[in-house]
Amino acid sequence: MRGEELKHITRFDSSLIRALVNLFTSHAQIAFVLVSATYLINGFSLPSVEKNVIILASAIYLVLVYIYLGVTNHTFVFTDQTLEVENRLLFFRMRQSFPLRQIKQVLFRHDWTETAGKEIKIGIFRTAVRWTMHLFFPFDYKWIEITTTRSFRFYCFGLDYDYFDNEGPLFEDLFKALKSRGIRVGWTNKKYSPYYDGLWTSTELKAPDKNQSPKYFSKP
């Protein structure tokens, strides 16, 4: 049986390189804003910083980046019988298998950049909030939540959405693969989510058990 199952495998890899590039890009923008503000406030000059402080800060930063990558990047392996979730990064290695017949529903996090600041009526404030959120929250924020007898949420920042001609497999491809097997799938926001076809939304989910993860609508 295992040999037959291995004949049909699709991997949805959460690329560490892609996640790292996006993270560094976001942090570079923040650094530019902070350095520019310091430069102006300090009389058009930057304060001197000791070399040891720079080395220590860089080391701490790299450790935090490594932890961030380990927590927010999971790869999904879809077979004829199971949906497996794995993390191959050292110190974060894990592999969890979900038999398809035991999966009750799978919730996909919509692209938060589509809805950021939508509730703010005044245009200038809405734009300010959107730019601020883009600085401090990753563009690639996404997760899926798999529900069996309880819910399991897995982040996958290095797995692309279907935009900018990104190569697959994509986040939406996993949605379609599960849907094609008759598994109950949906998005956290039906209006702004691609491939929504009226299946269901988070408001139509089965009432959560006490062991399920809290709040389907995470911010951002």
**47 upstream amide cis, omega within 30 of 0:** no
Closest CA to 159 of 167, 150, 149: 167
Cα distance from N-terminal residue to C-terminal residue, the chain: 42
Residue 210 has a pLDDT of 40
Task: Report how far residue 113's alpha carbon sits from residue 115's, in angstroms, rounded to the nearest whole number.
Answer: 6
Q: CA separation (Å) from 131 to 117, 126, 161?
A: 10, 9, 20
Task: Report how far residue 217's alpha carbon sits from residue 220's, in angstroms, rounded to the nearest whole number.
Answer: 8
Place of tokens 């996640």: 19
Closest CA to 76 of 15, 127, 126: 15
211: left (phi over 0), alpha (psi -120 to 50) or beta: alpha
Task: Report how far residue 147's alpha carbon sits from residue 100's, in angstroms, rounded to the nearest whole number.
Answer: 11
Residue 219 has a pLDDT of 36
Positions of the chain with pLDDT lower than 70, given as ranges: 1-7, 190-220
Residue 130 has a pLDDT of 80
pTM for this model (two decimals): 0.78
Show Cβ contacts of residue 159 under 8 Å, excluding neighbours closer than 6 positions.
12, 13, 14, 15, 75, 76, 142, 170, 171, 174
